[in-house]
C-alpha cells in the first residue's frame, strides 16, 4: 500500500477533492482525533467498501474539551497514525492545525439539542456543540458522500445524524459496530492511560452492561436494573459512575419495554473516563 497523501490546509484538501470528483470518484470520510487503533481502522475499511476514496481527518478538536479535561495529554502520534493508514489503504490524511480550523476571529459555533440532551451533556456540557461545529466544518471542507462513525460513541453518532438532518448536509452517516479486545473492552484511544490492574477492571464494563440489558429486555424494573448495574461497576473496581441509562436506539428518548434501545454508561477508573453501550433488544 502506498502512503496516504497528507494535506494540512483546506485549500489543498478541496483541490484534491475536486480532482477526484472530476474523475467521477466517490468519497468517504472518517473523522478522528488520531491515536488510531483497530476500531478506527475498521472505520477505514468500511469507508473503502462504501466509496472509491477514503479521507481520514486527524485533528484534536479543542472546542470539545472543557478546561478541566485532557486536551494537553491526549495522545499524539502522527507518524504511527500515518503508517496505520498506509497499511489500511486510506488515500488521504487531512491533518490541519488549530489555526487552520479556527483562524483568528473565529466566533461561530453550532448549538445542538435533541439526542445531545442528557447523558454526556450532563457532565460535559460544551462537548457536543464542539463536536457538531468541527464535524460540520469537516463535511463542508471535504464534501464526502458518506462518513463513518463508530457505535462506541453512540450518543455522538446520534447527534451527528441529527446535525445532518437539521442542516440538510448531504452526507450519509454510517454507524459502525464497536470493535472490542478479546475481553470485550471497547477500543478507545484513552485505554492507553490504563495500567494493567485498571485494564482488568475496565474489561468488566461491557459484561455488566450486557447483563443489565438482558434483564431489561426480560422485563426487569428499569430503575432496579440500572441501580444494580451501577453497584456492580463500583464493586468491580470503578471509582465513580457518571451514569447508566436506557434510551431508545434512534432518538435517545427514554426507553420503553418492547422498543429497541441502548444501555449507555460512563464510569471512571482513576483519572480515565470510559464510556460504552450495548443494545437492549425489543424481544
Task: Just list the catalytic residues.
Answer: 40
Show the DSSP H helices in 51-126 as ranges. Answer: 78-88, 98-101, 120-123
- Is 87 marked as a binding-site residue? no
- Is 101 marked as a binding-site residue? no
Joined together, the cell numbers standing for residue 240 give 465513580
- Is 129 marked as a binding-site residue? no
Q: Where on the phi/psi map is residue 43: left (φ > 0), alpha (ψ -120 to 50), or beta?
A: alpha
H or E element that contains 278: strand 272-280
Q: What are the residues facing 55 on neighbouring strands?
A: 29, 92
CA distances from 94 to 71, 91, 121, 171, 179 (A): 20, 10, 28, 18, 23
Question: What's the rounded Cα separation, in Å, for the pair 268 and 53?
Answer: 38
- Is 189 marked as a binding-site residue? yes
Give SS3 for 162: helix
- Is 57 marked as a binding-site residue? no
- The burial of 257, by beta-carbon neighbours within 10 Å (0-12 exposed, 13-18 middle, 19 or more buried), is given as middle
Question: How many CB atoms neighbour CB 174 within 10 A?
Answer: 18
Question: How many CB atoms neighbour CB 279 within 10 A?
Answer: 16
- Is 151 marked as a binding-site residue? yes
Joined together, the cell numbers standing for residue 222 give 428499569
- Is 187 marked as a binding-site residue? yes
- Is 150 marked as a binding-site residue? yes
- Is 282 marked as a binding-site residue? no
- Is 16 marked as a binding-site residue? no
Provide the pairing of β-strand 240-248 with 172-176.
unpaired
Question: What's the rounded Cα separation, in Å, for the pair 155 and 120?
Answer: 8
- Is 222 marked as a binding-site residue? no
- Is 34 marked as a binding-site residue? yes
- Is 111 marked as a binding-site residue? no
- Is 261 marked as a binding-site residue? no
User: What is the phi/psi pair of residue 82, to 5°?
Assistant: -65, -35
- Is 152 marked as a binding-site residue? yes
- Is 156 marked as a binding-site residue? yes
Residues forming the annotated binding site for beta-alanine?
Answer: 64
Residues forming the annotated binding site for (R)-pantoate?
Answer: 64, 156
Residues forming the annotated binding site?
Answer: 33-40, 64, 150-153, 156, 179, 187-190
Residues forming the annotated binding site for ATP?
Answer: 33-40, 150-153, 179, 187-190
Amino acid at each position: 500500500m502506498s502512503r496516504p497523501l497528507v494535506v494540512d490546509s483546506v485549500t489543498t484538501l478541496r483541490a484534491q477533492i475536486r480532482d477526484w470528483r472530476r474523475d467521477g470518484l466517490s468519497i468517504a470520510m472518517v473523522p478522528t482525533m488520531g491515536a488510531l487503533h483497530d476500531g478506527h481502522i475498521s472505520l477505514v475499511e468500511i469507508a473503502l467498501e462504501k466509496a472509491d476514496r477514503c479521507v481520514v481527518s486527524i485533528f484534536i478538536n479543542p472546542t470539545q474539551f472543557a478546561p478541566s479535561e485532557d486536551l494537553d495529554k491526549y495522545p499524539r502520534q502522527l507518524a504511527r497514525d500515518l503508517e496505520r493508514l498506509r497499511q489500511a489503504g486510506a488515500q488521504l490524511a487531512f491533518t490541519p492545525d488549530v489555526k487552520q480550523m479556527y483562524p483568528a476571529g473565529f466566533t461561530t459555533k453550532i448549538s445542538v439539542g435533541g439526542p445531545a440532551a442528557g447523558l454526556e451533556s450532563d457532565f460535559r456540557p460544551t462537548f457536543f456543540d464542539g463536536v457538531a461545529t468541527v464535524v460540520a466544518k469537516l463535511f463542508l471542507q471535504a464534501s464526502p458522500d458518506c462518513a463513518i462513525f463508530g457505535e462506541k460513541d453512540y450518543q455522538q453518532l446520534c447527534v451527528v445524524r441529527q446535525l445532518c438532518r437539521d442542516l440538510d448536509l448531504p452526507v450519509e452517516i454510517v454507524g459502525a459496530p464497536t470493535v472490542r479486545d478479546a475481553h470485550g473492552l471497547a477500543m478507545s484511544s484513552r485505554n492507553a492511560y490504563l495500567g494493567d490492574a485498571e485494564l482488568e477492571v475496565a474489561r468488566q464494563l461491557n459484561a455488566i452492561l450486557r447483563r443489565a440489558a438482558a434483564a431489561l429486555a426480560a422485563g426487569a424494573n428499569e430503575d432496579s436494573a440500572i441501580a444494580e448495574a451501577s453497584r456492580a461497576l463500583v464493586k468491580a473496581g470503578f471509582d465513580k459512575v457518571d451514569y447508566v441509562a436506557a434510551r431508545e436506539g434512534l432518538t435517545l428518548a427514554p426507553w420503553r419495554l418492547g422498543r429497541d434501545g441502548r444501555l449507555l454508561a460512563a464510569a471512571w477508573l482513576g483519572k480515565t473516563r470510559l464510556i460504552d453501550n450495548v443494545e437492549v433488544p425489543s424481544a
